[in-house]
């Protein structure tokens, strides 16, 4: 269903704040542990990787925004790929998001919520019960209407900015500043070339959310002028915040110590503010993480709902409850997320979600070039600058992530990635069955595509 009568009243400032709000989440509080563990407790390559991942994200955002602006339909990446490549690939995109990306991301964030809550309560046996409980609780809350979800998002947005600001300010004021920031690049026995891919996959989880930045194009006064500035400015600001807070972490504790804690932010906060102050900051982080879980359980089920509306998933998933929300899809996604969360593996789950979604991001980037050739006269309120250089950089970045996870990052990563491929491909027989069952036309492309 296309957007209609969108008011073009958003300027640069509104678009900039939207970009920043969509991207900053819980990853920045937890991912430094994985980063410095990979580098062998050395800070240098980790800091460089935060910048490289930021640049990758900027090129990705600039590229995908052209399609977002040219195809102003609800549904996001699933709809873009459907319009460009046809219904089957569009379905696979939505299927991947429904059964892999959103559940794995929700599970990963919830695992950290469970671990940090258990630490606060002093009982590690509570990790899994809290993890599963928070997923199911947020799932139920999201069946009660958009007002409830919106209130949670408003509170959590404030709470995610507060710990960031406090750690940055007091980290530089009260930290010793004695720890190295850039040297050594990697620890003894660690090769930079062998871990850079894993580092980028880990960090890209903290940058995720950029795919949605083009969604505001239809409501901007001058998207051609302001959208690229908002994307570059917003994502550069996010990258700056991520780099600065990592320096603040290192200002307080060395990278070798940060590698040992699942939540470096909480440990740094305890050093800065004492045990009670550290717990207060941790509570703020938990509220922020709760908001992230809510955001994903708010948006993810809409993909599943859309597929059911298209009759490529069971009808029950396409029904709204009395609050006009897709309750069945929401509960299904919550249950899937809870099952993933039973693994208790934050980094494994987050890496799995990044591999899955970046595989389809690459198709989106390629779609920009494809549409330029097949539909040169398509109305484009915004065009990616420095075409085709930036799209090619985005494509290369995405292929690097996918190839590294499949072939270069080690047997564990390869098995995880192959599992993701298999789960995604299971969507093909599901699609074919539903097409036959409902007598739908299985065409290669949609009429009047793009």
Residue with tokens 């996001």: 76
- Give dist(CA 337, CA 315) in Å, integer: 21
98 DSSP 8-state letter = I
Domains of the chain, first to last: 12-106+167-276+342-438 (1.20.1740.10)
Does the structure show a pLDDT above 80 at 8? no
By mean pLDDT, which of 78-87, 120-129, 287-296, 338-347 is the weakest? 287-296
Confidence of residue 108 (pLDDT cuts 50, 70, 90): very high
**φ, ψ for residue 73, nearest 5 deg:** -120, 150
- Structure confidence at residue 74 (pLDDT): 65
- Structure confidence at residue 2 (pLDDT): 42
Q: What is the pLDDT of residues 189-202, one digit of tens each?
A: 899 988 999 999 99
- Cα Rg, the chain, nearest whole Å: 21
Count the neighbouring beta carbons within 10 Å of the beta carbon of residue 180.
12
- Structure confidence at residue 213 (pLDDT): 66
- Give dist(CA 47, CA 35) in Å, integer: 9
359 DSSP 8-state letter = H
Confidence of residue 397 (pLDDT cuts 50, 70, 90): very high
Confidence of residue 216 (pLDDT cuts 50, 70, 90): low
Confidence of residue 443 (pLDDT cuts 50, 70, 90): low
Residue with tokens 């939540």: 263
Confidence of residue 407 (pLDDT cuts 50, 70, 90): confident
If phi over 0 gives left and psi between -120 and 50 gives alpha, with beta otherwise, what is residue 209? left
Q: Quick one: CA torsion of 10, 11, 13, 19, rounded to 10 degrees?
A: 60
Does the structure show a pLDDT above 90 at 430? yes
- Give dist(CA 126, CA 121) in Å, integer: 9
Cβ–Cβ < 8 Å for 205, 401: no
Mean pLDDT to the nearest integer, 238-263: 94
- Structure confidence at residue 9 (pLDDT): 64
> What pTM was estimated for this model as a whole?
0.89
**φ, ψ for residue 236, nearest 5 deg:** -65, -40
Query: Residue 267: which of 116, 156, 41, 108 has the closest Cα?
Result: 116
311 DSSP 8-state letter = T
Mean pLDDT to the nearest integer, 367-380: 93
- Give dist(CA 49, CA 438) in Å, integer: 48
Q: Name the burial class of residue 375, with classes exposed (0-12), middle (13-18) and buried (19+) by CB atoms within 10 angstroms of its CB.
A: middle
**What is the pLDDT of the chain when averaged over all its residues?**
88
Q: 223-252 vs 146-174: helix axis angle to the nearest 10?
A: 50
Cβ–Cβ < 8 Å for 315, 165: no
- Structure confidence at residue 218 (pLDDT): 61
């Amino acid at each position: 269903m296309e957007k209609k009568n969108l008011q073009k009243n958003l300027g640069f400032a509104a678009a900039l704040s939207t970009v920043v709000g969509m991207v900053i989440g819980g990853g920045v509080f937890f991912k430094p542990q994985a980063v410095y563990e990979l580098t062998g407790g050395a800070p240098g390559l980790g800091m460089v990787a935060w910048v490289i991942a930021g640049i990758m994200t900027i090129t990705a955002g600039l590229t995908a925004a052209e399609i977002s602006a040219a195809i102003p339909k609800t549904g996001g990446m699933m709809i873009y790929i459907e319009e460009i490549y046809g219904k089957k690939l569009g379905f696979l995109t939505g299927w991947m998001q429904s059964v892999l990306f959103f559940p794995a991301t929700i599970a990963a964030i919830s695992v950290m919520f469970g671990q940090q809550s258990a630490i606060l309560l002093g009982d590690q046996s509570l990790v899994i019960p809290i993890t599963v409980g928070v997923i199911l609780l947020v799932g139920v809350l999201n069946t009660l209407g958009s007002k409830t979800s919106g209130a949670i998002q408003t509170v959590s947005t404030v709470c995610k900015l507060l710990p960031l600001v406090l750690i940055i300010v007091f980290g530089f004021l009260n930290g010793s500043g004695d720890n190295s920031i850039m040297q050594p690049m990697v620890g003894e026995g660690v090769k930079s070339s062998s871990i850079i891919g894993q580092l980028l996959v880990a960090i890209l989880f903290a940058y995720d959310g950029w795919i949605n930045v083009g969604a505001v194009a239809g409501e901007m006064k001058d998207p051609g002028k302001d959208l690229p500035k908002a994307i570059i400015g917003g994502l550069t600001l996010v990258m700056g915040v991520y780099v600065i807070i990592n320096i603040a972490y290192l200002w307080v504790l060395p990278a070798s110590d940060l590698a040992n804690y699942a939540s470096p932010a909480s440990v740094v906060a305890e050093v800065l503010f004492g045990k009670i102050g550290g717990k207060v900051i941790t509570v703020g982080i938990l509220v922020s993480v709760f908001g992230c879980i809510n955001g994903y359980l708010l948006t993810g089920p809409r993909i599943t709902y859309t597929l059911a509306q298209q009759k490529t998933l069971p009808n029950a998933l396409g029904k709204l409850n009395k609050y006009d929300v897709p309750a069945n899809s929401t509960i299904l996604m919550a249950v899937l997320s809870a099952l993933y969360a039973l693994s208790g593996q934050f980094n494994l789950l987050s890496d799995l979600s990044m591999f899955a979604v970046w595989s389809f991001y690459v198709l989106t980037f390629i779609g920009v070039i494809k549409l330029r050739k097949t539909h040169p006269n398509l109305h484009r309120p915004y065009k990616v600058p420095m075409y085709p250089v930036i799209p090619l950089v985005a494509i290369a970045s995405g292929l690097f992530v996918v190839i590294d996870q499949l072939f270069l990052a080690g047997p564990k990563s390869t098995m995880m990635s192959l599992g993701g491929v298999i789960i995604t491909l299971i969507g093909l027989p599901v699609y074919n069955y539903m097409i036959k069952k409902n007598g739908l036309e299985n065409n290669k492309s949609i009429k009047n595509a793009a």
